[in-house]
A and B are shown apart, each in its own frame.
Chain A
Amino acid sequence: MQALLTTLLFVAPGWVRDWITHEKQPNVFWSEYIVWPLIQIVIVVIVVLTLVAYLTYLERKVSALIQARLGPMRVGPWGLLQPLADGIKLLIKEDIVPIKADRAVFLVAPIISLVAAMVVLAVIPWGAAWATIANVNIGLLFILAVSSVGVLGLVLAGWSSNSKYSLLGALRSSAQMVSYEIGMGLSIIGALMFARTLSMSGIIDAQQTDSLWGLGYFLYQPLGVLVYLTSALGETNRAPFDLPEAESELVAGYHTEYSGFRWALFFMAEYSSMIVTAAVAVTVFFGGWYFPGLGLVKNPTLFVLLSIVIFGAKIAVLLYAYMWFRWTWPRYRYDQLMELGWKWMIPAGLANIVLTGVFYVLALPKAQGGLLGFMHEEKGRLIPTKLGILYFIVTGFVVTIPIVWGLLTTINRRSRDFNLHEQRQLQVNLRRERLEKMLQQGAGTQPAEGGQ
């Protein structure tokens, strides 16, 4: 009897215990872990959804301006209400489920995609102190893990539609996403060696002490940044890697059969994963919500508000870069895309880890077996000295990049597929040889090859 009571009391919530014992305990649980996060989450969801809507508007505006057009101008001033109009249009559109589709999977797939893209927003440090929703030990791993689940949503969508275009598009995009996921994972390891934590807030704190004026690890890890940004483009299926949505070949890729708001869910997932990859890049490489001079602000509320603004501004710059890339570079061919992922990004990521490891060990304090002693211990953390900062920047830019570039060009020297110029030259040379042979055989004899 007593055992049963014990068990029951273990399961009972705090207020039941308070009621039984008539003793009010200071309980921060509800305010700290339920109510405040709930407010934050609602704000973040609303802001991100608005941002997603306006990203589509920006995408059209930026593309229009790049192509010397005006873009949407009809709905509201400068077309500012266009996203709203689009949203209403999508809401009242018919939601079609094809006859031959696997109904349950077809209905669930976009929800999986969207949930995987949205949940990671919980661990992103939107700002200092109270602006972060959840700070967990495995923050970065959590983001990588949950966003990799998004691939499943798209494979399932392609399979369940029972349409050839959908299936091919899904296969292509999932193969592309998993290929670039590896490059993405490898590229951030170098920064982690400096940060020594997977917690997102922890990484930002580490950058403030470790890097030059708290600017970020991109100074130490230029190659890591390059690999990360390239892989992020591939991972989010953005141009120039937008093969799954190559309209000219595959209609619309994995969401060919989707219509109405269910299609919009895929769209939202895509754009919010764009925001997430930009936010991770900002957190890991560009100093997060910190910017030199922010420490001068003494008012804590103003400090946090400014930190949120800085974080948003950094993300906005990266998002603009995404759109800029889209209208600057032509689309890759699928074999080139896979080649870039497997033969350039992965070796570059691995070489970056090895070189960073070597340089790091050399810079350790002499007591710990380092040769140069460019680091000293402060509050239980190893921090590079002034000379150490210079050393890491120089090794990053002047040593790592040339070495890795040399390595990559050496191992890829035989890949003619990747180099379009080379490929064209090959055709030109072949043609020239054939023509010369024909000329040598003389004008009188009939050329063996026709006009092939």
Chain B
Amino acid sequence: MQLHGWEAALFYVLAIMTLFMAVFVVTARVAVHSALFLISTLVNVALLFILLRAEFVAGVQILVYVGGVMVLFLFVIMLVQTRAEEESRVRLYTGQTWPAVIIALLLAGSFYFAMSPAQAAFRPPDATTAIAETAERASAGAGLNISKDTQEVGEQLYRQAALPFEIASLLLLVAMVGAVLLARGTKQEKYYE
């Protein structure tokens, strides 16, 4: 699937915004401000998903990351006292800055070389295929002009990937047990056993 017209423009705007927000996450001095920027990064990524026709994933991104993980992050930030660091005049950019930049550049380079085969296979988008795709999707929506994205996700997940799905439930179980174990105190232990 290829984007063109306004969609391509929107894609680049959103992508650049995502990157800027991600940079702000790292440079903000107050931890809660970082969290706010992270929220906007995640919302931008959700919008990118919608642009790429992955509507269900976009919804999940907002529900789990923005509505769930970020609440947890804020709780953690509030739980740990970061007041001293926020108010101190310690320099934000230390000796670690340059190694971090170099590692980031190396990572970007490796991404680029990993992607280049795909880049080579890239054809300039063809208007005819796009229109055909659009018409096909519109007719698939049974006249309602809405996509079948959730149904497709379901078909893939519960027919093709039944075993990984069950393994995911085991992972959730481990996460739950871990959460309970991490946060219980000895007093609680005594009281309930």
Q: Interface residues, chain A, CB within 8 Å of chain B?
A: 3, 6, 10-13, 102, 104-105, 108, 135-138, 141-142, 144-146, 148-149, 151-152, 155-156, 159-160, 167, 171, 174, 178, 181, 197-199, 201-202
Q: Please, which residues of chain A bring their CB within 8 A of the CB of B144?
A: 135, 199, 201-202
Q: Please, which residues of chain B bring their CB within 8 A of the CB of A141?
A: 56, 59-60, 63, 150
**Which of A12, A138, A160, A174 touches B58 (beta carbons < 8 Å)?**
A138
* A159/B146 in contact, CB under 8 A: no
Digit string of B137-166 for contact with A (CB within 8 Å is 1, else 0)? 000000011111111000000000000000
Q: Chain B: interface residue count, which band?
A: 35 or more
B64's nearest neighbour on chain A, judged by CB, is: A145
**Which of B33, B55, B66, B125 touches A104 (beta carbons < 8 Å)?**
B33
* B55/A138 in contact, CB under 8 A: yes
Binds A, one of B3-11, B16-24, B105-113: B3-11
Tell me if B's interface is mostly helix, strand, loop or mixed.
helix
Of A102, A152, A156, most B-chain CB atoms within 10 Å: A152
Q: Please, which residues of chain B bring their CB within 8 A of the CB of A181?
A: 67
Q: Interface residues, chain B, CB within 8 Å of chain A?
A: 4-6, 8-9, 30, 32-33, 36, 39, 55-56, 58-60, 62-63, 66-68, 70-71, 74-75, 78, 124-125, 144-151
- Provided the pairs A137-B147, A152-B39, A160-B32 are in contact, do residues A145 and B71 lie with their beta carbons within 8 angstroms? no
CB distance from B110 to the nearest CB of A (A): 27
Q: How far is the CA of A202 from the CA of B141 in the complex (A)?
A: 11
**Which of A167, A178, A197 touches B71 (beta carbons < 8 Å)?**
A178
Q: Please, which residues of chain B bring their CB within 8 A of the CB of A167?
A: 78
A140's nearest neighbour on chain B, judged by CB, is: B59
Q: How far is the CA of A136 from the CA of B54 in the complex (A)?
A: 12
* B32/A159 in contact, CB under 8 A: yes
Q: How far is the CA of A358 from the CA of B149 in the complex (A)?
A: 26
B71's nearest neighbour on chain A, judged by CB, is: A151
Q: Told that A108-B36, A137-B148, A142-B62 touch, could you supply 11 new A-B pairs with CB distance under 8 A?
A: A13-B5, A135-B146, A136-B55, A138-B56, A142-B59, A144-B63, A149-B62, A149-B67, A151-B67, A174-B75, A178-B71
